[in-house]
Amino acid sequence: MIGLLGISYKTASIEKREIFSFQKDEIVPFADYLQKQTGISDIVLLSTCNRTELYFTQTKLDRLTAIEKVIETIKDFKQANMECSRYFYHKFDIDAVKHLFHVASGLDSMIIGEDQIIGQLKDAYMHCTEAALTDAILMRLFQKSFEAGKRARTETGIKLGNLSVSSTAVEMVAQEIKDLSDKRLLLVGAGDTGSLALQNMVKKGIGQTAIINRTKETACKLADHYHSEVHSFLSIQSQLQKSDIIIVATGAPHHLITARMVKKAMSKREAPQIYVDLSVPRNIEESVAELPKVKLFAVDDLQKVIEENTERRREAAQKAEHIINEVAEEFNDWMVSRSLRPAIKIISENLEEVYHQELENFKNIESKEIRKAVDSYTKHITQRYTRLLIKNLKEITDNGRNTDSLNIINELFKLEANNRRDS
């Protein structure tokens, strides 16, 4: 059984997701603890800012018991004294496979088709594989997920255009200022939207960055990742004066930056400024746009571009679904064929035993030529019937999908083998 237990931005707030996030150095100790508590030893653990997902294989526990034990193990390991089951989702077998392929393709991301997730998946897979935590099934599964992700991006238009408010805003800023290397960004608000804006600005080559956020701890975590300065709200006026680009993305119900503040900041600088308000309700007073040498972009200014790109990506996502289904079916065929291996092995061993028993009846023949002919013919008949039985086995069991027929065949050949050993 392939299992998946996950928590993501779709099911839980960042405060809840943070509780169940994993650092790399926690994965092996967690795997050891999981094996001790549940017997599950083959895993890949993916942990990003938007999701924590545990993929595993096991055969000893039923589905419900496996999930209950895994949730309790994660809670114990993270010392989470809370009822959290409602924040987790779980999937099994082909549903888990398709979910992973959606993740790898960027279809399950905040930004449809984004590239970052595929690198994060590869890092998670490699870390667990190097730690000897993955079996043949997980290895095959993740290799196929990389294939699905690559095909979805290269064979469709899923990456065309910017989808999120943040990435669209950054593109518009980059169009206004061609060279960002000597510019300074002030980010007000370190939530998901602000974090994504900062990430995109860094990719664009922004020279310096500073963060102001209501919760200093959150700002410091983000700042550590992007080597940014952290300042308090009390210093916002002085920070406005120093900054070329100001992006605001908070949940505040009122204006944090007024025209008076911007006018005061501009009186002490010569270079123009760009303000981007990604907040609803607005956090930057609308009249800021009327000041000289100042440009203001708000959500409404970006929405048209986003909607156009969203529609293009939706069409591409439908094409990506066909690719995911195709690659998932290939993986499923490989999985079900694995279930035939024990039966094929038993058939081959049984007929091989018959072959050797029959040769025993001719061991007293003096003629080497006759013994050689008997040996050759017996071997030929054995191989022929082996191929015929395996062909019929695949047809009867629908290549391993019909588990009832497969179980009957397994028991039949086990019985035959036991009878011969007892006789």
Catalytically active residues are 49
- Residue 367: CB partners within 8 Å, gap ≥ 6? none
Angle at 104 between CA 127 and CA 25, to 5 degrees: 20
CA dist., res. 191 & res. 82, Å (int)? 23
Tokens for 390, please give them.
């395996």
Beta-ladder partners of 177? none
How is 149-178 classified by DSSP, letter by letter? HHHHHHSSSTTSS--SHHHHHHHHHHHH-S
* Residue 317 contacts residue 163 (beta carbons within 8 Å): no
Helix (H) or strand (E) holding 3, with range, is strand 2-8
Show the DSSP H helices in 339-367 as ranges. 341-360
Beta-ladder partners of 185? 209, 245
* Residue 246 contacts residue 274 (beta carbons within 8 Å): yes
What is the side-by-side order of every strand in the sheet holding 51-57?
A: 42-47, 51-57, 2-8, 89-92
Helix (H) or strand (E) holding 187, with range, is strand 184-188
Instruction: Give the three-class secondary structure for 193.
Output: helix
CA dist., res. 249 & res. 277, Å (int)? 6
CA dist., res. 54 & res. 70, Å (int)? 9
Question: In Å, how far from its chain's centre is CA 14?
Answer: 17
Measured CA distances, 250 to 110, 207, 215, 372 (Å):
18, 23, 11, 87
CA dist., res. 73 & res. 106, Å (int)? 29
| DSSP 8-state code for residue 374 | H
CA dist., res. 109 & res. 123, Å (int)? 17
Burial class (CB in 10 A: 0-12, 13-18, 19+), 100: buried
CA dist., res. 300 & res. 307, Å (int)? 11
Question: Tokens 């095909």, residue?
Answer: 151
CA dist., res. 319 & res. 196, Å (int)? 27
